[in-house]
Chain A
């Protein structure tokens, strides 16, 4: 039987993952334009030639979106335990340590308070470069706490997502983060707190089956792969060619699963507009 959680995100039309490609990470996979890092950062990591959206890490995303120095991180000390003593080619503990070193993050999500155009909100931002943005206990806990803090502070929640799904090294407890975050969203909904979900490439599997699709407003960046099952597994199952835009934001928009596809350069002003429209709670 094919696997349900596909952590290998790959598709003929989807942009290759950082490190997964032979190309330099600052070379555009679509048109081959090459950029110095400061050039690319200055253009929000969007290709100036063809509009390809390069991946953005959590810290850089915060810099791009939030008012300067407005981010106050919360629950920064949460770290995963290793409930199964899981060992594949390396131990889970080693994998976490390695991801921390590589990204400078404690896990695949940053959580805290922030402002856009002076408007206050609660924020979660995911980082795909930390173990494929997988959701284990820490991501689930940070998201649930973000919902609780948004309720306490009576501010909207914005979550910027990027994830390959559940973190299988935590076994069934990683699956339990799915209903845990759903319950957190429901509590927020009961309290009348607006929830804006932003999908960035890729947001798949366990994330799509939990909070990422439960926003009052759900928007995505262009080219975001957003499918429950990855193209490789679907192809193995149906044994036929997949549509060119399979699982991409553009296809999801056509089928009615997204409110809008928003260019990265318009993301900040779009979020500001939504924050103004929803206003503050209470």
Chain B
């Protein structure tokens, strides 16, 4: 790492350390960040172009989706359908399978690839409340039988439709998080594409949150932010640079625990390699959680989310 880069990195960490973080749980995060940034050799300020590259890769039509990773990483896969009340939402997939020599539950947003028919069928990965209710149902199976839960987050957001609202979209997003907060099994969330706002967090209240190198995670889409702030969705690039949805920024803030490396030119260039790297990170995250019993896992998860916030001192 060059001298100049190192200076910038030190400056950045100093800034992070100065932020008043209640709960005191963040000093580990700072150490973790230092280590990760060193490893990645990526201490440079990410400029607008680099951040926008993440946005484009995260939404790349050829990017691997949840079922692509399931196919490559999960053995004995059986998909479980339906929320047992209204319907089966194809924008979220869930099921049981084996990973690292044990049974796991896998839940993830699912986008359709290829022609318009396929993409519409999956509703572009935007779930209705029924999708989140299916997710909760499968989480409860995992809880009853002691299976770790792995989630894959990849959605522009929860679906903004009339029926979605009538059937309680907001309440379903909250209930899904509440269910995750109650689990006594290990949980790992991986943001593998777009981590869009409420629709994303509904599957991401986990013990460990990982993010692929070119994934994005944000409170609002760049276009949405731009159209509200500047009344011009065309300013999306500028908006993205302002709120920085990229993985490095999320790691700096302690919002994620680690960055999962991708093939050099993005996960879409080599599904097998991307899956291998993802599998490795998943395995070590689950290994780390083996130390904790059910009560500790639940406490760890809630304490983690309790710590977020920055205040003027």
Contacts and interface: CB of A to CB of B under 8 A. Distances in A.
Contact of A229 (B124, B160, B245): B160
Interface stretch (B27-35, B37-45, B221-229): B221-229
B114 interface: no
Given A5-B197, A208-B171, A213-B170, A78 B160 contact: no
A193 to B, nearest CB: 15
Given A168-B220, A171-B244, A214 B201 contact: no
Contacts of B196: 4
Interface in B23-63: none
A210 B174 contact: yes
Interface residues of A, number: 68
Given A178-B198, A187-B302, A209-B173, A166 B224 contact: no
Given A179-B205, A208-B174, 10 more contacts: A1-B157, A87-B242, A177-B309, A178-B201, A182-B181, A184-B306, A212-B170, A227-B169, A228-B169, A246-B162
Contact of B310 (A81, A206, A246): A81
Contacts of A243: 162
Interface in A249-282: 251-252, 255-257
A209 B219 contact: no
10 contacts: A78-B311, A83-B310, A86-B242, A140-B308, A175-B218, A178-B177, A209-B158, A228-B169, A228-B198, A238-B162
Contacts of B22: 141
A179 B177 contact: yes
Interface of A: 1-5, 7-8, 78-81, 83-84, 86-89, 137-138, 140-141, 144, 166, 168, 170-180, 182-187, 204-206, 208-214, 226-229, 233-234, 237-238, 242-243, 246-247, 251-252, 255-257
Contacts of A178: 177, 198, 201
Q: Which 7 A-B pairs have the closest CB atoms?
A: A3-B224, A208-B170, A4-B157, A137-B309, A229-B160, A176-B308, A228-B170
Interface in B187-216: 196-199, 201-202, 204-205
Contacts of B173: 208-209, 228
A88 B230 contact: yes
A247 B170 CA distance: 11
A229 B178 contact: no
B165 interface: yes
B15 to A, nearest CB: 9
B121 interface: no
Nearest to B166: A255
A234 B160 contact: yes
A186 B253 contact: no
Contact of B201 (A173, A175, A208, A226): A175
B178 A228 contact: no
B174 A186 contact: no
Contacts of B249: 172
Nearest to A175: B219
Contacts of B204: 179
Nearest to A229: B160
B223 A1 contact: yes
Contacts of A185: 178
B301 interface: yes
A141 B23 CA distance: 11
